[in-house]
Amino acid sequence: MQFHRYIIGILLNKKMFKLSSAGGALIDGLLDLKDNETRLGEKYFSLVNISNNPDEPLIALIDENKTNNLIIQADKVVFKKTSFGEVSAVSTDKAHQEFEILWKKADSILQFSAIRRIGIVGQFRFNETSENSGANDLIKNLIKLSPPTHSGRFHLTYENRQLNPDNSIPDKQTGDYWNTIYTYYLSENDETPENGKINANIDVQKYYNPAKSNLMSELKKVKEQFIKEKKVFRDSLRTMGFE
């Protein structure tokens, strides 16, 4: 079982319409980090994608190997760290250090608004038990149905939303609560596809109302919660027979 991808996602409380006009300065500032910050190597980012659509502006930076990926949109920031190969794994501490560097530089240029939601996703990737058995493996281990002779498709997503102190269900628009999303699917359908593998994702989210202005302080708390939930999730995968 490999810890394949680590994602930090930030949802802003309001859109930044200045992203289109500030895009050039933002890209220059982020690319300059490769020269001025020793923790980001020369090849950390090598490709830039820009969309100046006034309704959906987007700036994305990525390296040739798709290991480092930063996407900044009008209302969200997403950082992805991916590890390839059988023995390598993503380091959560290293990913957080790199994200902090990138966020501080981008924030100095854009002055991000307050934070509505922070989410951290961990993706595990593991082998199917035999050739082309991935969907059947997931059906057999996750649901109370007998697997068919052969299935080539499976996708399951569900969430665990923390209840309010009075046991009522929090409202996504007005609540302040934790939410954890679980997703299982075949790796061939992933953004970095790989045949013969299965993906299992855990997404630990914290919704804020009112919105929070100190991202780093809140991100530390979400990371601590993620580490706890990640261990429970990994142990449950092993209990179900995934390795």
pLDDT tens, position by position, 106-158: 999 999 999 999 999 999 999 999 999 999 999 999 998 888 999 999 999 99
Confidence of residue 9 (pLDDT cuts 50, 70, 90): very high
pLDDT tens, position by position, 202-213: 999 999 999 999
The mean pLDDT value for 21-43 works out to: 84
**Domain range spanning residue 189?**
2-240
Structure confidence at residue 52 (pLDDT): 75
Structure confidence at residue 196 (pLDDT): 94
Angle between helices 19-36 and 92-110 (to 10 degrees): 130
Structure confidence at residue 233 (pLDDT): 97
Percent of the chain with pLDDT over 90: 78
Structure confidence at residue 36 (pLDDT): 66
Q: What does the block give as tokens for 227?
A: 């580490």
pLDDT tens, position by position, 159-169: 999 998 888 89
Confidence of residue 37 (pLDDT cuts 50, 70, 90): low
Tally of CB atoms within 10 A around 206: 22
Q: What does the block give as tokens for 149?
A: 């002779």
Q: What does the block give as tokens for 112?
A: 């991000």
Model pTM above 0.95: no
Q: What is the CA radius of gyration of the chain?
A: 19
Number of domains in the chain: 1
Alpha-carbon span 58 to 75, nearest angstrom? 10
Query: Does the pLDDT value for residue 171 go beyond 90?
Result: no
Confidence of residue 87 (pLDDT cuts 50, 70, 90): low
Q: Is 43 left (phi over 0), alpha (psi -120 to 50) or beta?
A: alpha
Structure confidence at residue 186 (pLDDT): 97
User: What's the chain's average pLDDT?
Assistant: 92
